[in-house]
Structures are given as C-alpha cells and as structure tokens.
C-alpha cells in the first residue's frame, strides 16, 4: 500500500517557512512582500480561489491587493491596471485570474505583466528561463510537485517519468523540471498512442489531464510514484485523473484528491511572491 502524500501538512510546514522569511524581508525592506490579484467577472469558482489566496497571503505576512473588475471591463482598462501594477513599488507579484471573459485576450494580458512580477510563471520570459535551465519564477503547480517529491526523498535520476498532459501551466513545465532532475521524460497527450503501456512502464506518473479517473489503477507499475493534478467535479465529489484506490495498492507514493497537489499550488504562489520581492529589493 502506498504512502499517501499529505499536501495539506506539507503546505502548512512550507507556509511557516515562507511566513518566517516574509517577516525577515519586511524587517529589512520596511514593507511586506505584496501580491496583486486581479479578478475580472463574477465566476464563483474564481471568486473562492481569490478569497483563499487572500487568506493565505495574510497568514504568510504577504500584503494582498485585490482588484475585482466587472465582466464588461475593456481591454484598455485591464491593460491600464496591469501597467499601473507593474509600476507600483508595493506590488511584487501580479496574478490575473484566468480564464478571462471571452472579449479579453489572455495572452495579451499575460505578456503585459512585468516578467519580474509574473508570480504564476506563465510569461514567455519565465518559461524561456526554465527551458534554458535557469528558472526564476516557476509555474506554481509543477513547482509544488517538485517540492513534494523532494520532501519525500524521491530520487529522479535515471527514472522513467511520464507526464500526461502538455498544457503550458502544468504538463510542459512539469516535464522540464523532471528532466532537470535527470529523469527521462515522456510527455503524453490526447493524440498519444498506447498511453496505458507508457504509464505502465513509468517509475513516476504525473497526471494533468482533467478527466476523472482516466488513469486506471491497474496501469500503475508496482512501486511507482503517482502524482495526480486533476481536479474534476463529478456527481460523487471531487475526483482526480487517477483511479485512486487501485493505484494506491500498487504505488509506493501517491497524492490524494483533494488534499494533494492543490494546497501546494497556493503555497508556491506565496513562495514565488517572496522570491519576486527579494529580486525587486535587490
Ligand atoms: P488542459 O485542459 O490545459 O490540458 C489537459 C491536457 O490533457 C492536454 O494536454 C490534453 O491533450 C491532455 N488530454 C486530454 N485528454 C486526454 C486523453 N484522453 N489522453 C491523454 N491526454 C489527454 O488542463 P490543465 O493542464 O490546465 O489541467 C489539467 C487538470 O489539472 C485539470 O483537472 C485541472 O483542473 C487540474 N489542475 C489542478 C491544479 C491544482 O492546483 N491541483 C492546477 C492546475 C490544473 P491535448 O494537448 O492533446 O489536448
């Protein structure tokens, strides 16, 4: 039976470290690290997410600035706000909650964020730094997963890792981070042929698909490490991309959903904000 990685507990410990370091920063810089969160529209899930972020910031000693704009906000208004935040010395991190309403171009907004304040790590500058082996601000979900693997003493050197999903926010940066730790990485996606066999050969499986329990438990190689990023709302509650019970019988380590990868994502956002603040303060 696998050891279950407790993302809540790891997050709690990690946030304590961040809070201590944020306090040290505040004493030195004369101001706390600051995170601006921009929410356009009324999406209830996004609103909950923003509320949780605010609470997490307060606990970690990070000042949070919240901007709630109505769904009719124009391109010019939103870009104007991003430019003002770029120039604001109290703001170290800027997060524009995606998805944006359809009339706004999220790529354009993303490009407008100062890469030094791009705490989501989605700006092409930060993606490029990651790809060239000099990461600065790394996307939070894959960064959180690497933290989990480190904390559990997982050695990736020479291991076969399979990442299912190739999104810019999870799959691609995840694959690069695993490769940087010397894993041999296969990236799978919706056109992959023979997914089951690829997963079955993997020492480490990261599932970031968005399809409830698509990775069957009996595909997992005995002793493998299984990281489930998926968050799928189903009639029987929140489910991951991995069929948990059977996978847990075969894996050596596994993340649950909920309580696995999710909490670590916000934790890494706080960490990135502190990192950005330190860079700004020189
Ligand atoms: P995307 O929809 O952007 O990407 C999904 C990926 O899965 C795509 O690359 C897609 O392939 C691939 N895929 C879809 N169907 C299949 C299939 N049948 N076989 C193999 N691959 C397939 O999703 P995200 O990366 O943004 O998120 C993935 C999941 O993780 C979601 O459930 C999301 O809610 C969750 N998530 C959780 C976070 C957390 O903090 N816990 C943070 C971010 C996301 P293709 O490219 O070919 O379309």
Where residue 178 sits, what CATH number does that domain have? 3.40.50.720
Q: How many Å apart are CA 75 and CA 233, to the nearest integer?
A: 31
From the list 176, 224, 216, the residue with the least C-alpha distance to 196 is 216
Given a contact cutoff of 8 angstroms between Cβ atoms, the answer to whether 4 and 257 are in contact is no
* Average pLDDT, rounded, for the chain: 97
Q: How many Å apart are CA 106 and CA 101, to the nearest integer?
A: 9
Tens of pLDDT, residue by residue over 195-234, are 999 999 999 999 999 999 999 999 999 999 999 999 999 9
Measured distance between the N- and C-terminal CA atoms of the chain, rounded to whole angstroms: 47
70 and 145 assigned to the same domain: no
Residue 117, sorted as left (phi over 0), alpha (psi -120 to 50) or beta, turns out to be alpha
Closest atom of ligand 1 relative to the 171 alpha carbon:
25
147 and 83 assigned to the same domain: no
In a domain, 13, yes or no: no
Alpha helices in the chain (DSSP H): 7-29, 44-60, 75-87, 106-112, 124-131, 140-151, 171-180, 195-200, 244-250, 261-280
Tens of pLDDT, residue by residue over 174-198, are 999 999 999 999 999 999 999 999 9
Given a contact cutoff of 8 angstroms between Cβ atoms, the answer to whether 116 and 279 are in contact is yes
101 and 206 assigned to the same domain: no
| 51 pLDDT above the threshold of 90 | no
For the entire predicted model, the pTM comes to 0.97
Both tokens of 17, joined, read 């470290």
171 and 258 assigned to the same domain: yes
Q: Please give the distance, rounded to the nearest whole angstrom, from the Cα atom of residue 70 to the centre of ligand 1.
A: 28
72 and 174 assigned to the same domain: no
Q: Please give the distance, rounded to the nearest whole angstrom, from the Cα atom of residue 216 to the centre of ligand 1.
A: 16
In a domain, 150, yes or no: yes
Rounded percentage of the chain residues whose pLDDT exceeds 90: 95
In a domain, 132, yes or no: no
163 and 106 assigned to the same domain: no
Q: What's the number of domains the chain is made of?
A: 2
Q: Mutation test of ligand 1: which of 167, 207, 214, 232 has the most ligand atoms closer than 8 Å to its C-beta?
A: 167
Q: Please give the distance, rounded to the nearest whole angstrom, from the Cα atom of residue 18 to the centre of ligand 1.
A: 29
Structural domain of residue 215, as residue ranges? Answer: 140-262
Tens of pLDDT, residue by residue over 92-125, are 999 999 999 999 999 999 999 999 999 999 999 9
In a domain, 149, yes or no: yes
Q: Please give the distance, rounded to the nearest whole angstrom, from the Cα atom of residue 5 to the centre of ligand 1.
A: 21
94 and 154 assigned to the same domain: no
Q: Please give the distance, rounded to the nearest whole angstrom, from the Cα atom of residue 209 to the centre of ligand 1.
A: 3
Q: Mutation test of ligand 1: which of 5, 229, 264 has the most ligand atoms closer than 8 Å to its C-beta?
A: 229
By alpha-carbon position, which residue is closest to atom 30 of ligand 1? 230
145 and 229 assigned to the same domain: yes
């Amino acid at each position: 039976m696998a050891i279950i990685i407790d993302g809540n507990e790891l997050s709690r410990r990690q946030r304590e470290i961040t809070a201590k370091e944020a306090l040290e920063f505040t004493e030195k810089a004369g101001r706390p690290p600051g995170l601006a969160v921009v929410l356009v529209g009324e999406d209830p899930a996004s609103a909950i997410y923003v509320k949780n972020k605010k609470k997490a910031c307060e606990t970690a000693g990070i000042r949070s600035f919240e901007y709630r704009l109505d769904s009719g906000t124009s391109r010019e208004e939103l870009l104007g706000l991003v430019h003002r935040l770029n120039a604001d010395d109290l703001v170290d991190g800027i997060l524009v909650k995606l998805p944006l309403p359809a009339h706004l171009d999220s790529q354009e907004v993303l490009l407008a964020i100062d890469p030094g304040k791009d705490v989501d790590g989605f700006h092409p500058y930060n993606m490029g730094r990651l790809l060239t082996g000099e990461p600065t601000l790394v996307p939070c979900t894959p960064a959180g997963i690497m933290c989990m693997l480190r904390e559990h003493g997982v050695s990736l050197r020479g291991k076969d890792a399979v990442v299912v999903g190739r999104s810019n926010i999870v799959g691609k940066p995840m694959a690069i981070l695993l490769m940087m730790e010397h894993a041999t990485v296969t990236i799978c996606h919706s056109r992959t042929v023979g997914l089951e066999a690829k997963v079955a050969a993997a020492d480490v499986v990261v599932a970031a698909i968005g399809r409830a329990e698509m990775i069957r438990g009996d595909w997992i190689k005995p002793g493998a490490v299984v990281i489930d990023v998926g968050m799928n709302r189903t009639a029987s509650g929140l489910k991951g991309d991995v069929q948990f019970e059977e996978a847990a019988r075969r894996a050596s380590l596994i993340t649950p959903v909920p309580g696995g990868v999710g909490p670590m994502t916000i934790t890494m956002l706080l960490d990135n904000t502190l990192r950005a603040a330190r860079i700004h303060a020189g």
